[in-house]
A and B are shown apart, each in its own frame.
Chain A
Amino acid sequence: MASKLNSDALSDNYMRIQFASRSENESFARVAVAAFVAQMDPTVEQLTELKTAVSEAVTNAIIHGYEEGPGEVRIECRIRDGTVEVVVEDDGVGIADIEQARQPMYTSRPELERSGMGLTIMESFVDELIIDSAPGRGTRVIMRKTIAPKREGH
């Protein structure tokens, strides 16, 4: 029998995708999330911001997590009361110092012409950004963005 928590979770709308860690999938990933979120009736600006944040997280998984080698990237997207939660996950090298990684302009790969702005962009384009990572254990990025104001009495 489903617990209270499970039945709450079941009432959310969600989608999951998993794909090979290849740069040609970056555009697929952001477009898939945008297509799912379209049902929330977002503004063009909200959709652009979300697509950009997803693109940053997926690109980081591919470039840093898997160092452009083989691997799998997973995305879970959940809609709850006008807020969308997007989780982007890799099983790559992980991040040793998350605070340092979040500094604007910090990049571990300057030779690749990275600007070190990805996490800063994500932070400013979503309402909440949580990074869960440890060396050798992969990285999980959780982003929450409110699309519509909370409905009254529901």
Chain B
Amino acid sequence: MAMEVHKVDGVLVVRLQGELDHHVVEQIRDEIERELAWVRHRALVLSCRGVSFMDSSGLGLVLGRYRSVSSHRGRMALCEVGPSLMKLFELSGILKIVPVFPDEEQAIAHVKEA
């Protein structure tokens, strides 16, 4: 599971990649949590551009990161969400709590505002 991570002005940007199922999410979660510590859990952007498959395990990953970031009074945003992922996010109610942006720049700008 390749996952690209970079930091822009105190914002952790994670480009998720491949198939997000139960088999891979635990490792991804641990890696994101480790990286989040570097920005004190204040700002997270999850880019879904490279995601080719997702089920409820991926939803759990996104919701879990939202909880983790908001418990540190941080902000989180999603970006580049394709149509089949959007359907899952809608079903799960994630869209009501985590904003979605068309690209990374806008998502980064949103989580930086404070």
Contacts and interface: CB of A to CB of B under 8 A. Distances in A.
A15 interface: no
A152 interface: no
A42 B26 CA distance: 32
Ranked nearest first, the 9 interchain pairs of A and B with the lowest CB-CB distance are: A23-B23, A113-B64, A113-B60, A55-B55, A118-B56, A117-B56, A115-B60, A59-B22, A115-B59
B55 A121 contact: yes
14 contacts: A26-B21, A26-B22, A27-B21, A30-B53, A52-B54, A52-B84, A59-B22, A113-B63, A114-B60, A115-B92, A117-B56, A118-B55, A121-B55, A121-B91
A103 to B, nearest CB: 14
A146 interface: no
A100 interface: no
A26 B23 contact: yes
How would you classify the secondary structure of chain A's contact residues: helix, strand, loop or mixed?
A: helix
Interface string B59-71: 1110110000000
A59 B22 CA distance: 7
Contacts, number: 59
Interface string A44-75: 01001001100110010011000000000000
- Interface band, chain A: 20 to 34
Contacts of A48: 53, 84
Interface residues of B, number: 20
Nearest to A24: B23
A120 interface: yes
Given A55-B55, A120-B91, A121-B56, A113 B61 contact: yes
Given A113-B63, A114-B60, A115-B60, 4 more contacts: A55-B53, A59-B56, A113-B64, A121-B56
